[in-house]
Structure 1
Amino acid sequence: MQAIVELKDAVKIVDNGSDEQKVILNNVSLDIFEGDFVTVLGGNGAGKSTLFNAIAGNLVLTSGQVFIMGENVTKKTPEERAKYISRVFQDPKMGTAPRMTVAENLAVSRLRGEKRGLQLRNLSKYKDEFLKLTSRIGNGLENHLDTPTGNLSGGQRQALSLLMATSKRPNLLLLDEHTAALDPKTSNSLMELTDEIIKNDKLTSLMITHHMDDALKYGNRLLVMKDGQIIQDLDSNQKSKLSIQDFYEIFE
């Protein structure tokens, strides 16, 4: 089976001042296969965001290679990798254009990874599609298709970011602590929606989380990172035998 994503001996070294260097990604190799929903745990500075940025192309590796769908994308820009990857960030403001309406944001997301020229929006053409799409969420977003995104609540805006990231099916969905800025109730609702979309649409996803209970509950695979390395790579069976206390012991 061909991996969706392959990291081979990925290393990232940065200057840390005073002629010192710090290794923030330490010889990481990783295969992500079709249908994997991989959760990623680790403390601050463990290398989680560095791993995501290496895959997405926002960070140039010091050494090593990145393959997506069998293509060597190590030297490709984030824009060139966008045809494969979509991403939802921790900050709800980062995934949407605040002055554009919900419908306009969704229309733009349909063109992810494509060259865009000047063209008519044709929003009326997609109205029924957008109504059906936003109705999946259950937080009233379908009533705000003509509302500027900046006027939405944080939960609605983050849910819209998730819809935008998945409306055009990506080869890999990166979820970068996408519930961290939300209150517990909204966070739980968004996680349930995330799990539903990933399962129903049979997506391949990599999710950073600081919530150990979410890492236990969701996904078929769990990575634990520390000091720029993957120190645990657990499948569903191994994960099901762990408790939150076990995670604390791993980190200690």
Structure 2
Amino acid sequence: MQAIIELKNASVIVENGSEKKTILDDVSLKIFPLDFITIVGGNGAGKSTLFNVISGNLSLTTGEILILGKNMTKKSPQVRSKFISRVFQDPKMGTAPRMTVEENLSIAKLRGKKRTLKITSSKELQERFLTKAKAIGNGLDQRLNSPTGTLSGGQRQVLSLLMATLQKPELLLLDEHTAALDPKTSKTIMSLTDDVIKTEKITSLMITHQMDDALKFGNRLLVMKNGKIVRDLNSEEKTKMKLEDFYRIFE
């Protein structure tokens, strides 16, 4: 089976004055179709660096990255956006606050395609947006004509998720996308995320600091430390783990 994304001996070294620091250390990783991989690790473990390397926002010092078997190591984030979408931790990122919900969704429909200055939305698209928004059930369907900046944090994060998956990506990056939300909203968003991933059959990679979520969701679990992947657990291995076993990995 061909990997959606493959990293080969990927390293990122940054210079701070006279010092050099390795923030991604010889990482090799294959992400296969329908993988839902959760990633955990302490601060500075390399989680965000991994995401930035995959999305093209950070260049590799050494190594390669392949998307659907093609070498994309030197390709820009714009080129990679045809294959990859991302939901950020901050609900304000990834949306245009002065544009309406519907206008933001119309832009998302053009991900990876040539865009014009004019934002248009056909009746068919409007009905599709409304159907998806109603299915979410958090009142977003009543706010399609509202400026995105007036939404609650939860509604805005739901919108970000909807935008990221409206045009099915080859890979969805979930960058601690529930971390800025209250516990109740976070639980709702995670349930919605899991449903969208399963229903739309989307290959996904999710960073989380919630150990319960890391064990509950997905079919693989990566543990990162000092820029390396130190554990890659499959579903069976995850099922056997308890939280105390999980914390022991970090000791």
Which residue matches 1:192?
191
2:4 is matched by which residue type in structure 1? Answer: I
Which residue matches 2:174?
175
Which residue matches 2:13?
13
Which residue matches 1:213?
212
SS of structure 2 residue aligned to 1:34: coil
Give the Å deviation of 1:244: 1.2
SS of structure 1 residue aligned to 2:44: coil
Contact 1:104 1:123 in 2 (8 A): no
Contact 2:106 2:119 in 1 (8 A): no
Which residue matches 1:44?
43
Structure 2 unaligned segments of length 5 or more: list them: none
Contact 1:3 1:69 in 2 (8 A): yes
Distance in 2 (CA, whole Å) between partners of 1:124 and 1:33 is 36
1:70-85 matched pairs, under 5 angstroms: 70-85=69-84
Which residue matches 1:235?
234
Give the Å deviation of 1:94: 0.4
Contact 2:103 2:119 in 1 (8 A): no
Which residue matches 1:28?
27
Give the Å deviation of 1:125: 4.2
TM-score by length of 1: 0.98
Give the Å deviation of 1:124: 3.8
Between Structure 1 and Structure 2, how many residues are aligned?
251
SS of structure 2 residue aligned to 1:237: helix
Task: Supply the RMSD in Å over aligned alpha carbons.
Answer: 0.9
State percent identity of aligned pairs.
65
TM-score by length of 2: 0.98
Give the Å deviation of 1:151: 0.1
Distance in 2 (CA, whole Å) between partners of 1:196 and 1:138 is 13
Which residue matches 1:225?
224
> Is 1:62 the equivalent of 2:61?
yes
Give the Å deviation of 1:96: 0.7
Distance in 2 (CA, whole Å) between partners of 1:122 and 1:41 is 39
SS of structure 1 residue aligned to 2:164: helix
Contact 1:101 1:147 in 2 (8 A): yes
The 3 A distance-change label for structure 1 pair 120 and 58 is: closer
Structure 1 unaligned segments of length 5 or more: list them: none
Which residue matches 2:245?
246
Distance in 2 (CA, whole Å) between partners of 1:12 and 1:72 is 17
Distance in 1 (CA, whole Å) between partners of 2:101 and 2:47 is 30
The 3 A distance-change label for structure 1 pair 186 and 60 is: same
